[in-house]
Amino acid sequence: MSMEQAMMKEEWLYDFTFVGDPQLSPDGSYVVYVKRVINEEKEYASNLVLVNRATGIQHDFTSGAGKYKDQSPRWSPDGKTLAFVSDRSGKNQIWLISTVGGEARQLTELTNGAVDPIWKPDGSALLVLSKDGVEKEEDARKPLVVNDLHYKADGKGFLDGKHTQVMLVPVTVDSEQVEALTDAPFNHSNPSWSPDGSAIVYVRSRYEEQGSYMRTDLFIQHLKDEGEPEQLNKKGGSFVAPRWSPDGRSLSFIGHFFEHEGATLNKVWTVDLASKKFACITEAVDLECTDALISDMHWGGASPGAMWNKDGSGVYFLASEQGNTGIYYAGVDSTIRQISGGDRHHYAFHYVAHVNEAAVAISDPVNIGDIYTLSFSGDRVEEQCISTSNAEVLQSYPLSKPEMFTYEGEDGLEIQGWLMKPVGFKEDKTYPLVLEIHGGPHMMYGNSFMHEFQLLAAKGYAVLYTNPRGSQGYGQAFVNGCRGDYGGGDYEDLMTGVNAALKTYAFIDEERLLVTGGSYGGFMTNWIVGKTDRFKAAVTQRSISNWQSFYGVSDIGYFFTKWEVGSDLDENPEKLWHHSPLKYVDQIETPLLILHSENDLRCPIEQGEQLYVALKHRRKKTMFVRFPDSDHNLSRSGLPELRVERLKHLAGWFDTHLGESE
């Protein structure tokens, strides 16, 4: 394969269209969704697409795809107006556009912008989210004064003391009155109106408080009552996406009480607002009730939560199981069943109870993602695809369809994995194998499109990816299985997976094994090369090398190390060092490429720096690539040109070191 052909494949990314956040109109006759592209300037841009379900005709409803970012469309209760977020005025603000045509008009001009519009039931106003405080001129010479434990966040940088508040915005043309409904010094999100419009519920993040790591509380606020908002979860926990029942007497929401700290399964809950009694309606199933499936290609929009049916007898929600994310139904009587599934990734979902239909975004390993409608009738679901976003593009590129297999771990635990054959596979040839390790660790690989995997398969590599213990999708005991034992049973699961693949697929060349992963997968890549020399080359991405320093430099280190590794710096620093790949650097002989983002605050770049210097000082084969203007999410939502550069370095390192071994 020529270098020109190889470079073309990394740049597939520029040709793809990404669709998400589908919204069904109140009467079910239209769907609007967001279409995102990479424009000629190699920047993301997006616009709204409107689909007439009766005719199948769809057209670009706003013109942002070439220049602006139009997103978060939301139908007015009468279906005549769409509210959406756009940066066309310079920063994100709320805009309105009539669904029968005409130009969009800007509704908000808030100093700190506005996002997440939610219509009042009578259509007279919107709830939006906006930061409080005033803009200040930045002075690069002015010191940053820090008093809080939580003072930085990946993707946001250093926190500026501003907090996201819930605002009430009338939609009348002549009204400029905006009312702040919250003012507490915490971030607020997920607002929702009561059916009669007299009250709202929202989520308040409390992790700014010492010891309240990742805590999110539910509050109800009665708009005509000057009293304090009422907190529902007095016993703590982490709860999101509250939804009112049709009669206004109950709420549904997603979350847990940290029974297993950060590895606790999310469940679907309801609360009776009269008695304040909580009920977990998915307690009977060992199911993660969110989308935990990883992809580097698409996005879904805000979490839909658990959406009530018309008579309030149950809710619909997304859940992750056995490498798939589907739509499930849970009755208030705890009856649970899957509604829409298959070997697919349902990554966005909007349900309209009045018509008992939904709009959904779905991906699979050979389809990036498209919009579907679902019509429910008892246990039957009628599905219709209403977009073909990448059909023509994907016909031009060779793709590999993964094969699922299971294998038994060293202690008898069943592990699920997938093997992608190289594009153009021939029975009489042998091929190198790349082991891909996911991050989290409490996420999962599965039946979703992965550009990185397809790229490697197109370059002649077999690709193996598995869900070792610690992954989501296999129950509470499984997801909890790696905590306190990083590099133990999870490492054995991965190595046993490689052995199982070698035994099952005779075409894999055992002398040409490669490994890569990001975040937790980067930690595990570092760990693997410190424990075995069986891999010819490795690429570690946004990794962890030293848990002792991670404790103090990561935006989550001060609680994540205790939750996951089983200790913190004060309690047992030796345990942190025992699980640190840097401890075993003398044993690393595998050529190791280190990819890291300059602005990564989740796994800060000093983690890569320590490993690089230790390796280079020992004259080991290594190289360090630092990506500017990028955070922990470079591979998924980073600048398009840098995403392409990352893939070039990844594949180039493997190509080079396989060439050296031949």
SS3 per-residue string spanning 47-63: EEEEEECCCCCEEECCC
Is residue 519 flagged as an active site residue? yes
Angle at 550 between CA 545 and CA 552, to 5 degrees: 160
Please give the Cα distance from 565 to 580 (Å, whole number): 10
Whether 243 and 200 have beta carbons less than 8 Å apart is answered as no
Residue of 459, 396, 424, 432 lying closest to 2 (CA atoms): 459
Residue 325's nearest CA partner among 341, 349, 302, 305 is 341
Report residue 25 CA to chain centroid gap.
26
Q: Quote the distance between the C-alpha of residue 500 and its chain's center.
A: 29
Return d(Cα 201, Cα 251) in angstroms, integer. 9
Query: One of 163, 438, 442, 632 is an active-site residue; which one?
Result: 632
Helices 489-504, 520-531: crossing angle, 10 deg rounding: 80
The H or E element that residue 451 is part of is helix 451-458
Give CA angle at 350 (344, 353), nearest 5°.
125
Tell me how crowded residue 228 is: count the other CB atoms within 10 A of its CB: 9
Inter-CA distances, 418 with 407, 450, 462, 501, 611, Å = 11, 12, 10, 9, 30
Q: Which of 519, 545, 580, 635 is catalytic?
A: 519
- Tell me if residue 632 is catalytic: yes
* Look-up of token digits 């269209």: 17
Biggest CA-to-CA distance, the chain? 77
| ∠ Cα 383 307 386 (to 5°) | 25
Catalytic positions: 519, 632
